[in-house]
Amino acid sequence: MQKTAFIFPGQGSQSIGMGKDFYDNSDVAREMIQNASDATGIDFKTLLFEENDQLEQTEYTQPAILLVSAIAHRLFEDAQNIKPQFALGHSLGEFSALVSVGALDYIDGVKLVHQRGKLMKEACEGKDAGMMALIGLDDESVEHLTAQARADGKEVWAANYNSNGQIVAAGKKSDLAAMESLFKEAGAKRALLLNMSVASHCPLLQSAVAPLKESLETALQDSFIAPVVSNVTAEKYNTKEEAITLLPEQLVKPVRYKQSIEKFDNEIDLFLEFGGNVLKGLNRRSTKKPTHSITDMASLEAAYEALV
């Protein structure tokens, strides 16, 4: 059996119809969706499968993605009960990773990230918050330019280290827009202001830290079957105490996804991505190890075959 890492996508992986093939073909998937709906009051069947605007709102995006990831993982686990070398998520995907290693019940996970989305939205209200994707710049250039901008009174930070040459900055939209020409002069092929009203993984979310930590203290369990890699440190952890510290901190510090992949890919033979295929694209730029994305029953079967 090949050594595997379980990986879980974050916001940006959502789309109408995600998880539909699981729902159509699995009693377990239908039960999980119904249980999540009953627990939260969110009609996940409508949210996931019918045209709507809510799926793009962070307080609904986050629980929808975690739920589909949890379903994909549960169906995989029911047929192949294997222990990963580690689990890793991108941003909210770190909560999905905790579900996969037994440290968080999926219903509690859905509730937590629903709350997390609301806290993030509230923290950014009235702050002109936004994010900008930067293609073609190295980490040091982005860090230098954003530090220089902050010294000049602007509110901008490096927020996501996704892959080589792909970084996302966060902060005030007006400050990010003012820096577009500077990023391009430094070598960025693209500097694209994203259609978002939340600035993730930067100090603008400070007010969300304490209430999220309080909720984590009651929801998390000290029952890790495998370690999780922290977005904040790009290091492994396997205790509730560490998770309670690191997950709130993740709100205001950058996601070190690229660094995590590069650091630990020598420990595994392949990555299994549950509930999306965004990370598969990022991984191509950071590792030579294959990534198999599980988004429907056919890709679930293909993942079984890849493990042999």
pLDDT digits (tens, 9 = 90+) for 137-148: 999 999 999 999
The pLDDT-based confidence of 196 (bands split at 50, 70, 90) is confident
pLDDT averaged over every residue in the chain: 96
CA 9 – CA 93 distance, rounded (Å): 5
**CATH, residue 104:** 3.40.366.10
**CATH, residue 193:** 3.30.70.250
- If asked whether residues 134 and 266 sit together in one domain, one would say no
Look at residue 98 in the predicted model and tell me its pLDDT: 99
Is the pLDDT at 181 greater than 90? The verdict is yes
Is the pLDDT at 71 greater than 90? The verdict is yes
Last residue of a domain, one of 148, 172, 197: 197
Catalytic residues: 91, 201
- If asked whether residues 133 and 104 sit together in one domain, one would say no
Tokens, residue 299: 């890709």
- If asked whether residues 105 and 225 sit together in one domain, one would say yes
- If asked whether residues 102 and 11 sit together in one domain, one would say yes
Tokens, residue 5: 């890492």
Is the pLDDT at 264 greater than 90? The verdict is yes
Is the pLDDT at 12 greater than 90? The verdict is no
- If asked whether residues 172 and 216 sit together in one domain, one would say no
Last residue of a domain, one of 146, 178, 197: 197
CA 60 – CA 114 distance, rounded (Å): 6
Look at residue 77 in the predicted model and tell me its pLDDT: 95
- Domain range for 166 is 128-197
Looking at the 3D structure of the chain, how many domains does it have?
Answer: 2
- If asked whether residues 31 and 113 sit together in one domain, one would say yes
- Over residues 253-260, the mean pLDDT reads 98
- If asked whether residues 287 and 225 sit together in one domain, one would say yes
CA 146 – CA 179 distance, rounded (Å): 9
- If asked whether residues 22 and 69 sit together in one domain, one would say yes
- If asked whether residues 216 and 270 sit together in one domain, one would say yes
**β-strands 228-229, 86-89 pairing:** parallel
- If asked whether residues 144 and 276 sit together in one domain, one would say no
Last residue of a domain, one of 197, 224, 247: 197
Q: Taking the complete model, does pTM exceed 0.85, yes or no?
A: yes
Look at residue 13 in the predicted model and tell me its pLDDT: 84
